[in-house]
């Protein structure tokens, strides 16, 4: 389908042999799978980043997409590029912009709570997260099975990996069940069972390893 050779630098798994637990990399990966565009991976151990990688992207974050003389280190921009370059199937079906706005802040709210879970004022952060979850649940109740009906969207590529992390971390470390929100649970059950998700998946244990430092 594509004559362009794409190389994606991604977080390596704990054993250094496969895709690691990065929701931003998974966002880009989901777009590649939806578009059925071939891509090869370069696994980066983030604890000991090679100099050539730091020269490529001084910030040292993943994912980083290389093609020709172009280097792109922003997962959202990578998704936008893929959608513009390979228009079918579109990742911007009707309703995508509204879906991005409705779901775009949930991970920030969750991170603010999780990273300060043991702080005395954590309840305020939790309340803000729960309020945001209710908004997302209400939005999801009006759609299905994904955010804009059946097709994958830019919004789905961002939200699905984030919910995977949120569900895993909240359940294990925080004693909080995200799937108490019935519409979000339905959305997760469907999206996590898709081939696109399975092809970009990684074990929950790796997610827990990555987040454990915030709960010591």
* pLDDT-derived band at 1, boundaries 50, 70, 90: low
Is 139 inside a domain boundary? yes
Q: Mean pLDDT score of the chain, rounded to an integer?
A: 96
Say which CATH number the domain at 62 has: 3.40.30.10
Q: What whole-number percentage of the chain has pLDDT above 70?
A: 99
Is 2 inside a domain boundary? no
- Are 151 and 64 in the same domain? no
- Are 113 and 156 in the same domain? yes
Return the closest-CA partner of residue 191 out of 161, 170, 212. Answer: 161
* pLDDT-derived band at 63, boundaries 50, 70, 90: very high
Over residues 68-87, the mean pLDDT reads 97
Cα–Cα distance, 138 to 136 (Å, whole number): 5
Over residues 187-212, the mean pLDDT reads 97
How many domains is the chain partitioned into structurally? 2
- Are 76 and 103 in the same domain? no
Cα–Cα distance, 194 to 37 (Å, whole number): 17
Tens of pLDDT, residue by residue over 9-51, are 999 999 999 999 999 999 999 999 999 999 999 999 999 999 9
Tell me what percent of the chain is helix, strand and coil, each rounded to the nearest 5: 55, 10, 35
Residue 16: give the domain boundaries: 7-85
Tens of pLDDT, residue by residue over 139-155, are 999 999 999 999 999 99
Over residues 56-62, the mean pLDDT reads 92
What is the phi/psi pair of residue 190, to 5°?
-70, -50
Is 16 inside a domain boundary? yes
| Residue 22 annotated in active site | yes
Is 170 inside a domain boundary? yes
- Are 140 and 184 in the same domain? yes
Tens of pLDDT, residue by residue over 172-182, are 999 999 999 99
- Are 11 and 33 in the same domain? yes
State the pLDDT at residue 3: 83
User: Is the Cα dihedral 81, 83, 88, 89 positive or negative?
Assistant: positive
Is 174 inside a domain boundary? yes
Both tokens of residue 120?
A: 């005395």
- Are 110 and 81 in the same domain? no
Both tokens of residue 13?
A: 């798994």
Which residue in the list 9, 22, 148, 157 is annotated as catalytic? 22
Cα–Cα distance, 153 to 159 (Å, whole number): 10
Over residues 166-176, the mean pLDDT reads 98
Is 90 inside a domain boundary? no
Over residues 88-95, the mean pLDDT reads 97
- Are 103 and 202 in the same domain? yes
- Are 139 and 102 in the same domain? yes
Residue with token string 């729960």: 130
Cα–Cα distance, 49 to 65 (Å, whole number): 16
């Amino acid at each position: 389908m594509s004559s362009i050779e794409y190389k994606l630098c991604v977080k390596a798994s704990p054993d250094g042999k496969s895709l690691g637990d990065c929701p931003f990399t998974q966002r880009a990966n989901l777009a590649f799978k939806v578009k059925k565009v071939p891509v090869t991976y370069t696994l980066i151990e983030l604890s000991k980043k090679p100099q050539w990688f730091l020269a490529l992207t001084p910030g040292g974050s993943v994912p980083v997409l290389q093609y020709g003389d172009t280097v792109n280190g922003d997962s959202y921009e990578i998704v936008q590029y893929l959608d513009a370059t390979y228009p079918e199937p579109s990742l911007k079906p009707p309703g995508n912009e509204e879906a991005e706005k409705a779901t775009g802040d949930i991970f920030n709210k969750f991170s603010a709570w999780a990273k300060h879970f043991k702080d005395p004022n954590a309840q305020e952060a939790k309340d803000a997260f729960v309020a945001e979850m209710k908004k997302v649940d209400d939005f999801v109740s009006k759609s299905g099975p994904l955010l804009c009906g059946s097709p994958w969207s830019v919004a789905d590529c961002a939200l699905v990996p984030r919910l995977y992390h949120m569900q895993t971390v909240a359940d294990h470390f925080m004693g909080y069940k995200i799937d108490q929100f019935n519409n979000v649970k339905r959305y997760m059950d469907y999206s996590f069972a898709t081939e696109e998700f399975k092809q970009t998946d990684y074990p929950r244990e790796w997610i827990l390893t990555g987040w454990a430092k915030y709960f010591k």
